[in-house]
Structures are given as structure tokens and as C-alpha cells.
A and B are shown apart, each in its own frame.
Chain A
């Protein structure tokens, strides 16, 4: 009787005839995913944590040794690594701020009815759907000092965007803004259209001007979803690799992910790379946590 009460299965179904319950079927669906996750995500994660305390090198067959916190100590006192972090921070701030402004601005423009709105919205979403490596290669061509369309259109002569140490990082950030603003736009658009029209009517009756309505009604009501966009984009920008790697070799544009790649697969310093990866992970988690705390505070209202 008890097993009958647990299941909502149709008694005439084949599953019931095999003696399965709801629980059995649920497990059949979940277990493959769980196994996959453990084998390909959780296990390597823990394994690499172990590596981060050793001097293991993946391309050598010599036995490795346990070195304790030495990798972490070396990394955290390495000025070169810190400059990579500063470069990454600059990149994250410029690129995420740009995406938020451009994305939210586009969403504000699109948040009304006009002819061909659906088509225009779809076209604006295209950059986001491309492969980052392809985007990087194309923008490298666009930035080309001698015949690139960007210098031609803006009349910048032969300005070398990507080989100029001062501009390389920002050139990559602009590309990232181009690629990912649509993502912010999409989320903002969802947030904006969720603001009830009657609140705007009430504000109009209450004699609120455009700016007052925007700052007191629109922004506070969209801010939770804007924060979610911010979290996603910050996390992604922090680990940017592909665009930057394909576009420039300037040391001033060497993001932490590129540094990590070089350390792991050019210098084959596997143990130390694992340690660096964990430092990056902890930083991203810390930043995300701050956002999430703030998001919950915003949502409480």
C-alpha cells in the first residue's frame, strides 16, 4: 500500500508493469547527468586542487613532489601576476561598464512599438551568437592600421589599435562590448517590459518628468535584472581568453586567463597553473558573492 501511495504512475503503464515507481523514473533521468558532472567537472576540480600543492608538470615523466603552499606563495608575490590582475581589472571595468551602458541604452530604445521591431531586435542579437575566436579575427581585420575600415571611417590614419601598448587592451574591450552588449540588452528588455504600464501613467499624473520617472520608477524596478546581467558579464569578462588571445600579443593586454594559459601549456608548469586557477576562482567567487548579496538586498524591497 505504501509504495502505491508514493507513485502517481498510471497502473496500466509499462513502467508500472515493470515494478517502477516515480522515484525510479526520476533517478533514471538524473543519474546519467550526475555521473557526467562528477566525472568531467567535480573530479577534475578536486584533482587540480591536489595538483596545486605539487610541482607536477604534465609534459614530464619525473615524479612530482608535494610542495605545500609554495605555488600560492610564489604566485601571490609575483609582480608579473599582479600586473596581469590589474590589466584584467581594467578590462573587466571598461568592458562590463560599456556593455551595461550600451545594452541598457539599446533596450530603452527598443522598449516601444515600432515597425520591424522583431527583426531589428534579432539582428542586434547576432554578435552574441558568434564564436569568440571568429569575432576576434574579424575585429583584428577591422582594426588593421593600413586598410581597416575603423581607421578609415573615423579618419584615424594608420593608428595601430592592437600593436599600440596603450590601446590594445581597450581595443579588445571595445570588441567585447560589441559582442556582449546584446546580452545585456536582452535581459534589460525583459526587465523593462515587466514594468507595468500603469506605473508610468501614475507617474505622468503625478507630474514626474522624464528623468525623474526614469531614476525613480524605471531604474529601481529593472535593477534586479540589471544586476543579474552585471553578475554574468563580470564573471565572463574576468575569464576572457579567446577574443584577447586571437586579437593581440601586447603584454599590456595580457589578461589573467592568457597568463594562465601560457603558464599551463607553454611553460608546462601544471602545478603552479592549478594554483593560479584557484586564485582566479576564489576572486571571481568573492566578487560574485558581493553582487548576489546586493541583489538579495535589492530584491527584498
Chain B
């Protein structure tokens, strides 16, 4: 039962402010992912919660108690490091037992707790080995074991699987999810990988240059990005972004992308909603799956030419030239046969996002 609350956190490294007025409330048992590029302040935030980094302003509350002046050891928080940070001179058993022995638990209890955690993490047969003899995945299991063994108030994970190769990363991702479901502890997880964030998080906190950009469920940040940064950071392949303008065309809205000769037809309600922004300052965001492609002409579809095709196995990404703007569409594998092919394209109004170009903020205009 642990709630963590961050209130008005500010942090400077010398003259550089790396965290700006950060506020966040984390509920008990919640899996929070801090997502952002390197240097966005996510790791600093995590280390501040752990007590490895001081903060210049604000409060860190664990279960309502301010802890920003406490040492790491007194916050009862466990952490898994990207570098694993296993003690190289100790066996796996001694590594996992370390936090228990450090608080002088009796050796019988230590033995019991370590074996229990080892069973859950399936590392029982590694207990006598030294870290140097383990694979990357096993090292991380041990590091997680060392964090879990003392049943901490909260688990902090700093890119725990970032150093593993792709296949192992996928396995460990599933494992971390399984563990969280099973053990249920408040978890804060830092990553730059949006797929990891989407698959693990109850809520994602997207950070950029020390500011929180958006806090929301994976579905929320994917379907309702709060601004252009979130829109482009979350989702793969990346969302198409283009300057756009809106005009009235026989009662319906016509959304023109860049300098394209013609507009895409949108339902008439977009007209009034986008009214104030129709003359410049409007940016359209559309994910590749919202760019609909067909071979033959149909009402509302615009003839364009396919440019580059990236086959990605289960689907293709096709670059289409609309005016001088490049729109990336997601199609069935092999649907567009090659560059230069003439196809017809439409934008699905239901999946369109509109942003204010200057501020980058979402206008919240949805069908």
C-alpha cells in the first residue's frame, strides 16, 4: 500500500534546469512509466525519488510523508539499475540476500526469503553462480530479485532491460508484467522505448526537456496526444504531421495538406470547430493507419503517386506525395506494387488530430 506524490519538483545541474515544476500522483499498485528521450529528466526524476539525487525545490511524498530529506536507505524503496549493478564478488544468493543481511535479518529468514524470490524469478539453479557467469537476462532477473526480496514500498526501474538484445527484451518485458500482476507493488519505470511503455504501463508520463508533456493511459496518449511532441513520440511508425488549412466546400470541410492542389473532404462539423484556425497556424496529424489507400478511384479519394515502399513483414509503409508533402500510409503487405504506381488516398477523419502550430497543443477536435 504505497502512494507516491511529487509536488512542484525542480532540479538544477549547475545553471541548467533539468526538471521544471513536476507534479505527479502515483496510486497504490500502479505501474507508472516515465517515457522520454535521453536527457529529458526522467532518470533524474527517478533518482530523486530513490534518494540518489537531491532536489532543489518541491516535495516528494511517500504515503503522505515528505522524504526529500531522507537518505536512500531510509525511504524503503528498491531500485533496478540499467547496469544491473550486481555485486561482482558475491554469488547470486549473496546478491539477493544483501538487502536482507544489511538490515540484520536472521539467516534462516534470509534463506527462506531468497529461495522464495528465486523460485518466482526462476533463478533457483543460478544461486551459487557469480554474476560474471550469467547472461544479460539472468543478471537482470537477479537484479529484480534483489529488489523484490525485501518487499519494498515501491519499485523503481531505470531502463532495466535497455541493455538487453531485442528478443530478450521482449521476454523480460513480459516477465516484468507478469511479476507486477503477481506481486503487485507500486512501480515507477523509466524508459525511452515507447513500445515498452505502452505494453507495461497503467499510466504513461511523457517527459520532454524537463517538462511533463502528458500523463495518461497507453490508449489515452496514443489516441489523444496532448501535443505534437507526444503525437510524434508515441506510436510506430511515426504519425504524419503537416501544415493544413480548412475551407468550406459546398457545406463540407475541405482540409488541404500543405500546398496540395485539392483538399480532403471532412464532415461539416470540422468547419465550425476549426474556424479560428483555418487561416494558417493549423497542423494536421494523422497516423499511417489513418491514411487510407485504394487502387481505383472513389468519392473523396485523391489520385497520388507512390514514392518509397518499406516492407515491414506484416504490413508496408508507403510514402505518398500529396502536393509537396509526404504522407506515410500503412497498407497490407504488397498492396502497392512499386514506386511510381498511381493510387488513390483519403484521410480518415475519425483518426485525424489537429494541433495549433505555434504552441503545438492539441485542439481537441475529434469527430
Contact = CB atoms under 8 A, between A and B. Distances in A.
Interface in B99-135: 99, 102-103, 130
B102 A202 contact: no
Contacts of B130: 301
Interface stretch (B69-77, B200-208, B228-236, B318-326): B69-77
Interface string B64-96: 000000011110111101010101110000000
Given A201-B85, A221-B89, A301-B130, A206 B102 contact: yes
Contact of A212 (B51, B52, B89, B102): B102
A201 B81 CA distance: 9
B146 interface: yes
Given A201-B81, A202-B81, A301-B130, A207 B87 contact: no
A202 B87 CA distance: 9
A226 to B, nearest CB: 14
Interface string B145-185: 01000100000000000000000000000000000000000
A120 to B, nearest CB: 25
A205 B89 contact: no
The listed residue with most B CB atoms (<10 A of its CB), out of A204, A206, A208, A216, is A206
Nearest to B71: A204
B88 A209 contact: no
A44 interface: no
Contacts of B52: 201, 204-205
Given A206-B98, A207-B103, A198 B83 contact: yes
Given A216-B98, A221-B88, A204 B81 contact: no
Contacts of A301: 89, 130
The listed residue with most B CB atoms (<10 A of its CB), out of A199, A207, A217, is A207
Contact of B85 (A199, A208, A221): A199
A208 B73 contact: yes
A204 B73 contact: yes
A198 B81 contact: yes
Nearest to A300: B130
Interface string A207-224: 111001000110011000
B28 to A, nearest CB: 21
Q: Chain B interface: which size bin?
A: 20 to 34
B104 to A, nearest CB: 9
Contacts of B103: 207
Given A198-B85, A199-B85, A220-B89, A205 B102 contact: no
A56 B142 CA distance: 68
A207 B88 CA distance: 18
Contacts of A205: 50-52, 72-73, 77-79
A279 to B, nearest CB: 38
A244 to B, nearest CB: 39
B89 A206 contact: no
B221 to A, nearest CB: 29
A202 B85 contact: yes
A207 B85 contact: no
Nearest to A212: B102
Nearest to B50: A205
A204 B99 CA distance: 9
A274 B83 CA distance: 57
A212 B104 CA distance: 10
Interface string A267-301: 00000000000000000000000000000000001
A103 to B, nearest CB: 22
Contacts of A206: 73, 78, 98-99, 102, 146, 150
Contacts of B74: 207
Contacts of A207: 73-74, 76, 99, 102-103, 150
Given A207-B103, A209-B102, A217 B73 contact: no
Given A205-B52, A206-B146, A199 B102 contact: no
26 contacts: A196-B83, A196-B85, A198-B85, A201-B52, A202-B79, A202-B85, A203-B98, A203-B102, A204-B52, A204-B72, A204-B73, A205-B50, A205-B73, A205-B79, A206-B99, A206-B146, A206-B150, A207-B74, A207-B99, A207-B102, A207-B150, A208-B102, A209-B73, A212-B102, A301-B89, A301-B130
Which 10 A/B pairs are nearest by Cβ-Cβ distance?
A: A206-B99, A208-B102, A202-B85, A207-B73, A204-B72, A205-B79, A198-B85, A220-B89, A301-B89, A212-B102
Interface of B: 50-52, 71-74, 76-79, 81, 83, 85, 87-89, 98-99, 102-103, 130, 146, 150
Given A205-B52, A205-B78, A205-B79, 15 more contacts: A198-B81, A198-B83, A199-B85, A199-B87, A202-B81, A202-B85, A204-B71, A205-B51, A205-B73, A206-B78, A206-B98, A207-B103, A209-B73, A217-B87, A301-B130
